């Protein structure tokens, strides 16, 4: 799922292409993607783009007349930019935003249709899409600590809860926790002040570093390789590969459609965290420490 660094770069690349431009047409290719129609696609046609915002992992395109387009890419949704006259994506395209400068396509891979597009009238209606998460890059350590300890969750859950923190998902939470040398299953209210400070600095540094990397990678182009699994990540998506800090094999906890990646030596004092499915299957044969699997 595109997270804060990815959404930030999307917005930076959209700005010179669409700001001040009229949305000539909004073409809905898959009706499922359109979740609200007040105003309707016909009513936003011809309106100029006057602003771009990020609400957590959502992209907000502001049109004149207090009308807004809210895009949530979810896991497999992506944006593609096509120059005027270029052929837009085929059956993967769910919606096309046609401007004089080119066409923005909202596409989604796979068969599950999770990406969404809302058309919203008025600032009051737009505020319903704010989840309330803290913008860590705009906060100080005290605000971060208060938000972290406001509920008692595992650090993995706390970082990815959009009500607590804005724009952080599965991928960058793994990277943040590795950088902070903290277990994903540590409880937020049991962290000492030094650990909270380390987590705060790791969160800021990870988000800033990856935003800068993605920005440099795209240059003057448009992001066309947005993925949760990137070369250069320390642990996310690197199960069994060596940790770049200590060389121990990266471990994982799998649940539903997600997994958490971590380094046992760097983050949990060598202890392996129980993967529910595998530990239930192996019982006493489930290894307890990283030394047993190296």
User: pTM for this structure?
Assistant: 0.91
pLDDT score at 278: 47
pLDDT score at 256: 67
For residue 277, name the pLDDT band (cuts at 50, 70, 90): low
| pLDDT per position as a tens digit, 57-83 | 999 999 999 999 999 999 999 999 999
Residue 283, pLDDT above cutoff 60: no
pLDDT score at 228: 77
Contact 109/76 with Cβ under 8 angstroms?
Answer: yes
Domains of the chain: 4-129 (3.20.190.10), 136-292 (1.10.8.50)
Task: Give the tokens for residue 31.
Answer: 């009706």
Lowest-confidence pick of 56-60, 115-119, 273-277: 273-277
Interacting residues of 204 by C-beta distance below 8 A, sequence separation 6+: 136, 137
| pLDDT per position as a tens digit, 120-176 | 999 999 999 999 999 999 999 999 999 999 999 999 999 999 999 999 999 999 999
CA distance 116 to 94: 9
- What mean pLDDT comes out for the span 203-226? 95
pLDDT score at 276: 57
Residue 234, pLDDT above cutoff 80: yes
pLDDT score at 293: 40
How many other C-beta atoms are found inside a 10 Å radius of the C-beta of residue 16?
Answer: 11
| pLDDT per position as a tens digit, 83-109 | 998 887 777 899 999 999 999 999 998
pLDDT score at 150: 98
CA distance 94 to 105: 7
């Amino acid at each position: 799922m595109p997270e804060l660094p990815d959404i930030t770069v999307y917005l930076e690349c959209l700005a010179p292409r669409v700001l001040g431009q009229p949305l000539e047409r909004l073409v809905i290719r898959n009706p499922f993607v359109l979740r609200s129609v007040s105003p309707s696609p016909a009513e936003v046609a011809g309106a100029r783009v006057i602003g771009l915002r990020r609400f957590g992992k959502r992209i907000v395109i502001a049109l004149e007349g207090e009308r807004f387009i809210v895009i949530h890419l979810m896991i497999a949704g992506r944006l593609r930019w096509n120059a005027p006259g270029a052929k837009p994506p085929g059956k993967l395209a769910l919606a096309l935003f046609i401007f004089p400068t080119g066409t923005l396509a909202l596409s989604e891979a796979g068969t599950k249709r999770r990406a969404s597009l809302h058309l919203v009238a008025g600032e009051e209606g737009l505020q319903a899409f704010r989840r309330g998460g803290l913008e860590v890059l705009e906060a100080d350590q005290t605000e971060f600590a208060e938000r972290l300890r406001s509920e008692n969750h595992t650090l993995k859950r706390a970082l990815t809860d959009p009500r607590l923190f804005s724009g952080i998902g599965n991928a960058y939470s793994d990277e943040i926790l590795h950088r902070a040398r903290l277990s994903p299953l540590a409880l937020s209210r049991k962290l000492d002040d030094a650990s909270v400070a380390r987590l705060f600095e790791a969160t800021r540094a990870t988000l800033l570093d990856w935003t800068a990397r993605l920005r440099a990678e795209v240059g003057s182009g448009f992001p066309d390789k947005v993925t949760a699994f990137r070369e250069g990540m320390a642990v996310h998506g690197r199960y069994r590969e060596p940790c770049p800090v200590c060389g121990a094999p990266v471990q994982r906890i799998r649940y539903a459609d997600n997994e958490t990646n971590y380094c046992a030596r760097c983050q949990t004092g060598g202890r392996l965290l129980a993967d529910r499915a595998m530990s239930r299957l192996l019982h006493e044969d489930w290894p307890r420490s990283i030394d047993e699997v190296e």
